Amino acid sequence: MCAATSLPYRRIFLTGFSGTGKSTVAELVAKELGWRALDTDTLIEEAAALPVSEIFAEHGEERFREMERHAVERAAKERDAVIATGGGAIVAIENRRAMAKDALVVALDARPQTIVDRLRSNEGTSERPLLQGPDPLARIIELKAAREHVYALADTIVETEGKTAREVAQAVVEAVRGAGEWASRHPERLLLPSEREAPPSTAPVRVDAPSREYEVHAGWGLLDRLGELLRDQGLSGAAHVVSDTNVLSRHGDRALLSLRRAGFDAEAFAIEAGEEHKRLETAARVYDWLVSRRAERGQAIVALGGGVVGDLAGFVAATYLRGMPLVQAPTTLLAMGDAAIGGKTAVDHREGKNLIGAFYQPRLVVEDVSALKTLPHRLLIEGFAEVIKHALILDAQLLDDLESHVDDLLHIEPATTVDVLRRSVAIKASIVAQDERETTGLRALLNYGHTTGHAIEAAAAYAIGHGAADAIGMMAAAEIGRRAGVTTQHVIDRQRAVLERFGLPLRARDAGLSLDADAVLDAMTLDKKVTDGTIRWVLVEDAGRAVLRSDVSMDIVRDVVREVLA
C-alpha cells in the first residue's frame, strides 16, 4: 500500500472523457492508497433519486450541470478520497476551482474509437446519451476535441490506450507518488489563461522576414481555432495535413475537425515518427499522397507535429508545385520555440543533418501550448534547451525568469508557459526579420551549441534527441569560449545550473551515450556553419550577449569535444 499519509494533498480527482475508466480506476487507486472511492455521478443520482439518464431526459443538461457543481463541491471537502468525475465536470470553472484545492487532478485519456468500443461493451448502452444518434463516433470526436484544452489543465495525463484498468490505476499511483508539492501550492493552475486576473497577451508575434511577413499565434487551446486562423489568412479549399503516427493519433481529430468546420476539405497523411524518417524517401511518399489528392498550388500544407514533421512538410511545401502555402502547427516545445519559425526546411542525408533543404517561410504559425501536456517528459525538457539558448544569447531577463519558474514551466502552468514561449518566439522572430538567410551573421547566433550538438546527433545515428544533444553542445561551446578568452566561469556555472534544473544532459554519458570523438569531429566538417573549412563558433560573452568567432583553435575544439564525450 502507498504511504498516502505523506502526500501533500488529501484527495485525487480523476477527470477525462466518458469511457476512459474513471470509476473503475478510482476504486483501484483508492484501494492501493487505503482511501475511499467516490463518484460524482453517483452522488448526483443519490441526491436526485434518479439515474443520470433520466435527469438529462426530464430536467435537461443545465439542471444536471447545476447538480454536478454541488456534487463536486461536496467531494472537494472529503479527505482521503479518490473521486471520479463526469466527463464534462472539468469544463466549469467553479468545478476546477473546487478540484484544485489540496488535490491532485489526473486526466485519463483514450482515442474516440476506443471510447465508443468501451461504451458499447458496457451494460446499459441504451441509456448512454453519447451512443444515441446516427454517428456516435463523430459526436464523441467533436465533443472530446472541444474539451481537450481543458483536460490538458490536469496535473497529469494518463494514457489508457491498450492498458487494463489495473495498469492504468498503477500509472495513477505512480503519478501520485512522484507528484511532489507543486500542485498543492498552485490552486490557480486549473484556470485557463483567459480566466486569470491578468491573462498573458494573446496578440500574435509578427515575423517581418524580407521574403514574407507572417504571424505566430501562441496560446492555450489554439488547435481548436486552426481552421479559423487559416481562413483569416485568406486560405481556402483543401488543407493537406502532414503529421506523424504519434501526433496524428493524439491531435489529428482536433486539427481536422477545426479545419473542416472552417470549410476546408481536410485530410491527413502520417509519416513514421522519428528523425531517421526525415529523408528524401519519406518526402517522396508525401509527394505521392499530394498527387493522389490533386493538390493545387494555392492550397495549404499544414505541418502538425514536432521538428521532424515541420522540417519535412516545409521542404515538401517549398518544392511541390514550386511552392505551396505552409502552415506550421507545432506540437513540441522544441518546434514551437525554434524550428517552426524562420523558414528553415530540410531533410537529412546519411552523411549529415539538414543537408538538403530550402529557406521557405510559412504563411502562418499556430502554437497550441496545451499540446505540450501530452508530450513525454523527455521531449518536454528537451524543448527547454532552445528556450534556454535564446535567453543565453539574447535576453538576460528571460534567463532570470527561466531560473525563477523552473517548476511552473516543467508542470506547463498555462499562464507562465504561454508568456515564456511568446517571449522566446519574439527573440527568434526578431533575428529572422534582420537576417533571414544567415547572410549578416546575426541569425547564426541561433546556432549556439548546434555545431557540436548536430555532430553528436549524426555520430549517434540520432539515438539522442535534438534538445539533449544541443544541451551538451552548449556546454562544449561554453568551455570552448572560456578557453578562447570569451566566456567567463560565472556564465558557465549559470548555464550548467539552469540546464541541470531542467533535467538536460551536460555530457554524453548523462544521455547514456558512448561516442567516438573523431566521428563527432568529422561530422562537424559537414555542418552548414563551416565556411572554407573554418567553423564559425557562437560564443557567449555574458548572459544575453553572444558573438561569432572564426579564430578558435581546433586544438581547443578537439580537447573540449573529447571531454564532453568522455
3-class SS at 395?
coil
pLDDT of residue 429: 96
| The pLDDT of residue 134 | 84
In the numeric block, the cell 504561454 is attached to: 418
Burial class (CB in 10 A: 0-12, 13-18, 19+), 101: middle
Compute the distance between CA of residue 290 and CA of residue 238 in angstroms, rounded to an integer: 11
pLDDT in tens, the chain (566 residues): 455 556 778 899 999 999 999 999 999 999 999 999 999 999 999 999 998 888 988 898 899 999 999 999 999 999 999 999 999 999 999 999 999 998 999 999 999 999 999 988 875 444 566 667 788 999 999 999 999 999 999 999 999 999 999 999 999 999 998 888 899 889 899 999 889 888 778 899 999 999 999 999 999 999 999 999 999 999 999 999 999 999 999 999 999 999 999 999 999 999 999 989 999 999 999 999 999 999 999 999 999 999 999 999 999 999 999 999 999 999 999 999 999 999 999 999 988 788 999 999 999 999 999 999 999 999 999 999 999 999 999 999 999 999 999 999 999 999 999 999 999 999 999 999 999 988 777 888 999 999 999 999 989 988 999 999 999 999 999 999 999 999 999 999 999 999 999 999 999 999 999 999 999 999 888 765 666 568 889 999 999 999 999 999 999 999 999 999 98
Q: Kind and range of the H or E element at 331?
A: none
Q: What's the confidence (pLDDT) of residue 10?
A: 87
Neighbours of 504 (CB within 10 A): 24
Within 8 A by CB and 6+ apart from 280, the residues are: 347, 356
Active site residues: 322, 344, 386, 428, 438, 443, 447, 450, 454, 466
Please check whether residue 364 is in contact with residue 317, taking contact to mean a CB–CB distance below 8 angstroms.
Answer: no
Total H helices, total E strands in the chain? 21, 18
Q: Is 324 helix (H, G, I), strand (E, B) or coil?
A: coil
At 177 the pLDDT is 86
pLDDT score, position 129: 66
- Enumerate the β-bridge partners of residue 12: 82, 104
Residue 111: closest CA among 308, 225, 254, 271? 254
Looking at residue 124, what is its pLDDT? 47
CA distance 535 to 561: 14
Nearest Cα to 82, choosing from 36, 43, 15? 36
DSSP readout, 199-229?
PPP-PPEEEE-SS-EEEEEEESSGGGGHHHH
Measured between alpha carbons, how far is 187 from 144 in angstroms, rounded to an integer? 25
pLDDT value of residue 133: 75
CB distance 470 to 446 below 8 Å: no
At 148 the pLDDT is 96
Rounded-to-integer distance, Cα 103 and Cα 185, Å: 10
pTM of the model as a whole: 0.91
